[in-house]
Structure 1
Amino acid sequence: MNGHYDIAIVGGGLAGGLIALAVRRAHPAMRVALVEAGDTFGGNHRWSWFDSDIDAAAGALLGAFPAKTWHGGNEVRFPSYTRRLEADYRSLDSRDFDATLRRLLPQDAILTGCLVASLSADAVEIAGGKRIAAARIVDCRTAPPSPHLTGGWQAFVGQTWRVHHAHRLARPVIMDATVDQIGGYRFMYLLPLSETELFLEDTYYQDTPRLDRAALERRIAGYVSGKGWKGEVIHSETGMLPVITGGDFDAHRAALEVPSVALAGARGGFVHPLTSYTVPIAVANALAIADVAADCDGPALARFLSERAQRHWSATGFYRLLGKMLFGAARPEERYRIFERFYRLREPLIERFYAARSTPADMVRVLAGKPPVPVMRAVGALLGKGAPLVQGDER
């Protein structure tokens, strides 16, 4: 099928798409394949990031995509205060991600509608008998539920609304936690896409992997009505993301590894374990792979990413500890207090936290002072093992 490729990236989500584009830009002579089971790249998602999250090289790669940009800062809302933060904010719709990849990648690199049956060191076997041969293979498919990891879940429904009159929301609201706290830490996430279009996401940090879509849609409609907005939904999405608090990372990777096949994206463990905030990590990983792709054969690239994943797991232990506190020490309806306290800290610390680049001084500052959870529950959470991250149902 389409001959022999120098590198095949399996899974055309954010991580896979960025890797394909980064390799293509760094090594135009390399033949790249981006293999996706669905009909489009990126699925049905929206990804956002702060300008401060990325350096110039990352900005150059992300600059290929038509992201929406807000230069007026952003804000958070809690029961006891509202705070405006100064960082510029950007957001990318997966439909624009798909269109850009189709425009910038060669036609023979675009392999959508290809459901993978199996992988080996030098080939991708497609259901139905087709075969894609490649010298290097990177597996970026969706990470399956893992009994080897522990934690909770971030469940959400997102909707784009077209309102009949200007909504007058001046800037993104990263968290509006003034809403009723139902089943866990709940907040609304708001993006003013235009004067009459709004993206609203109802998000929950909850113990179980269950998403009642109809209930969340009703709550979003109630929120819209409460703000005095009238309009209709023109697009929607749902998500259920793991919030990783611990586990056996080696066993998790061993269950997914194929000899000499590199693991990247969430499947490889390249996530922010607490926030599921992926753009800074995904773009840094894509650039790192592009730097070595021409000099590494398949086994060497697999080792490179395995070592990089181990370093990432070690570097993000602080966020897993905070996740244990969130799920194990805070009562579900009181979890908002942890974030309420966190957002009183200095803005550079908050930005580094989301980019998974907290300094040792940041960590001390986050943990200093009176904890927003009962001390004995905190001790119990730290000593506990946590619940395995196995998937449930969606209604």
Structure 2
Amino acid sequence: MPTTHICDLAIVGGGLAGGLIALALAKKRPGLDVRIVEGSPSIGGNHLWSFFASDIDEGNRWIVAPLISYGWTQYDIAFPAHKRTLKSPYYSIESERLDTVVRATLPPSALMTGRKVLAASPTAVVLADGDRIEAKGVIDARGPGDLSLLDLGWQKFVGMEFALDEPHGVDHPIVMDATVEQIDGYRFVYTLPFSATRLFVEDTYYSDTPDLYRPKPGSGSNSDPIAERVLDYAAAHGWQTEHIVREESGVLPVTMGGDFEAYWQSGGNKVAKAGMRAGLFHPTTGYSLPDAVRMAALIATASDLSGAGLHALTHDFARRTWKARGFYRMLDKMLFRAADPDERYRVLERFYRLDPQLVRRFYAGRSTLFDKARVLIGKPPVTIPRAMRAIGLLPSAKS
């Protein structure tokens, strides 16, 4: 017989955004009856999230501190005409760690994993098995809404964690190695050393399409060109692979424009939202962790956790964030529409010659007016007419 579950707050989606909100509430509001509803058996899925220390406000670091799996004090970037080491703390969180911490922090009754959601309203969640959750407030954190409502490019990637036969000799991350062949847009390889013989290598593309061109399970095809490039990169560096510990792939939106309100309503007009579903991700990187931390801190200290109160809180925060990031969307237009795909790396190469503090603020989504001027001043790596057409200051060449 169907069961009705009663609670104070229901979080629909147990990914990064939902997990962080639950942990923040458990710390700040321990008496609150919270439920996380997640379709998969675990919290967090199969992901690795990385961030710079400067991405997180000092007052919010308590939210992510228990989740950190790895940390380094500096990182490298490499381009055909420019290489650099930047002194900046950098951290990674494994989804397994998020799952472990959430389970250790919340009571078992709070975790409703393996449960498919049919519908969510501001105060109720309907499950596929007939059960229902009645809550004072509901937050939908199930991933992206209707991305077709936004003007997008794509960051797509395939990553592999290797156990190696011998030490790899890498002591800090290589966040961008763009000395590799440029394929399908701006391509770079991302490397994280987890231990002396454990290494994560990811092949990343800033592409016009979200297609990863990977063989589908059961297709009978063994051809996986992106995975082969990851293996080739490891072999070229002399990293002899004992076995592949874990593999992940994904596609993130790079935003050039769109209708924020239409995007918000596509996920349910009056339902509170968090994470990608709220449009809370960096327009250029697609990364959602810094915004997810800010949202978790905001909700944990909110006085009104009703459905209406949460909707107003999350919508207003997401709308303000969207409006504040027009500069990044403009830069994305220049990257995707003013530069030829195999020349996009030049835009990033120039960017990484700038002041490290400017770079940190850029990734945090908090560029100052001076930062914005500095990014735009100087000889651009694309032609000025193409740049002006990309951002709409000149008519398209086809018009």
TM-score, normalised via structure 2 length: 0.93
Deviations 1:20-43 (A, max 9, x none): 111111111110111111111111
Distance 1:110 1:170, change over 3 A: same
Aligned to 1:243: 254
Map of 1:254 onto structure 2: 265
What is the CA–CA distance in structure 2 between the aligned matches of 1:37 and 1:58, rounded to whole Å?
Answer: 28
What does residue 226 of structure 1 align with?
Answer: 236
The answer on whether the counterparts of 2:145 and 2:264 sit within 8 Å (CA) in structure 1 is no
Residues 151, 324 of structure 1: 8 Å contact kept: no
* Equivalent AA in structure 2 for residue 318 of structure 1: F
Q: Is the 8 A contact 2:140 2:273 kept in 1?
A: yes
Q: What is the DSSP-based 3-state SS (H/G/I as helix, E as strand, rest coil) of the residue aligned with 1:86? A: strand
Q: Which one-letter code corresponds to 1:78 in the other structure?
A: F
Q: Quick one: which of 320, 343, 347 aligns to 1:338?
A: 347
The residue that corresponds to 2:115 in the other structure is 114
Q: CA deviation at 1:296?
A: 3.6
Question: Which one is further off, 209-218 or 188-197?
Answer: 209-218
Instruction: Please give the secondary structure, in 1, of the residue aligned with 2:211.
Output: coil
Q: What pairs with 1:182-197 in structure 2 (closer than 5 Å)?
A: 182-197=183-198
Which residue in 1 is equivalent to 2:29? 27
Match for residue 13 of structure 2 among 11, 30, 34? 11
Amino acid at match of 1:380: R
Alignment of 1:364-383 (within 5 A): 364-383=373-392
For 1:48, the equivalent position in structure 2 comes to 50
Aligned to 2:219: none
CA contact (8 A) 2:160 2:201 kept: yes
- Opposite residue 238 of structure 1, the aligned amino acid is S
The answer (yes or no) to whether the contact 1:277–1:354 under 8 Å persists in 2 is no
Q: Identify the residue that residue 156 of structure 1 maps to in structure 2.
A: 157
1:202 match: 203
* Runs of 4+ in structure 1 over 6 Å off: none
Alignment partners' CA distance in 2, 1:111 and 1:324? 41
* In structure 2, C-alpha distance between the alignment counterparts of 1:252 and 1:112, rounded to whole Å: 27
Select 1:38's aligned residue among 21, 40, 47.
40
Q: Is the Cα–Cα contact under 8 Å of residues 8 and 33 in structure 2 kept in the other structure?
A: yes
Contact 2:9/2:305, CA 8 A, preserved across alignment:
no
2:66 is equivalent to residue 59 of structure 1:
no
Offset, 1:301? 1.2
Say if 1:75 and 1:83, in contact at 8 Å, map to a contact too.
yes
Deviates more, 1:371-380 or 1:14-23: 371-380
d(CA) in 2 for partners of 1:211, 1:384: 33
Please list the CA deviations of residues 45-96 of structure 1 after superposition, one character each: whole Å capped at 9, or x if unmatched.
100111122233321111121421113x111011012100001111011111
For the structure 1 residues 25 and 18, does the alpha-carbon distance in structure 2 shift closer, same or farther, using more than 3 Å as the test?
Answer: same
Q: Per-residue CA shift, 1:265-318, capped at 9, x if unaligned?
A: 1101111011112222110110001110x4342101101111111100011111
**Does 2:360 align with 1:358?**
no
Indicate the SS of the match to 1:271: coil
User: Which runs of no fewer than 5 residues in structure 1 stay unpaired?
Assistant: 386-395
Q: Distance in 1 between matches of 2:146 and 2:208?
A: 14
Which residue of structure 2 aligns with residue 132 of structure 1?
Answer: 133
1:322 maps to amino acid: L
Query: SS at the partner of 2:350?
Result: helix
1:145 is displaced (CA, Å) by: 4.0
Once the two structures are TM-superposed, the CA of residue 368 in structure 1 deviates from its matched residue by 0.7
Contact map agreement 1:121 1:258 (CA 8 A) in 2: no
- Choose from 277, 281, 294 the match for 2:291: 281
Match of 2:334 in 1: 325
Matched residue of 2:148: which SS? Answer: strand
Specify the code of the residue in structure 2 equivalent to 1:248: D
Equivalent residues of 2:68, 2:91 under 8 A apart: no
Q: Distance in 1 between matches of 2:146 and 2:297?
A: 27
Shift of 1:107: 1.1
Cα distance in 1, alignment partners of residues 108 and 116 from structure 2: 19
Q: Unpaired runs of 5+ in structure 2?
A: 215-223, 395-399
Query: What is the root-mean-square deviation in Å for CA atoms of aligned residues?
Result: 1.4
Deviates more, 1:138-147 or 1:300-309: 138-147
Give the aligned partner of residue 390 of structure 1.
none
2:280 to 257, 266, 270: 270
Aligned residues: 382
The one-character-per-residue Cα deviations of 1:199-235 (angstroms, maximum 9, x if unpaired) are 0110000001100231110001110111011112111
Output the amino acid matched with 2:345. Y
The aligned counterpart of 1:392 is none
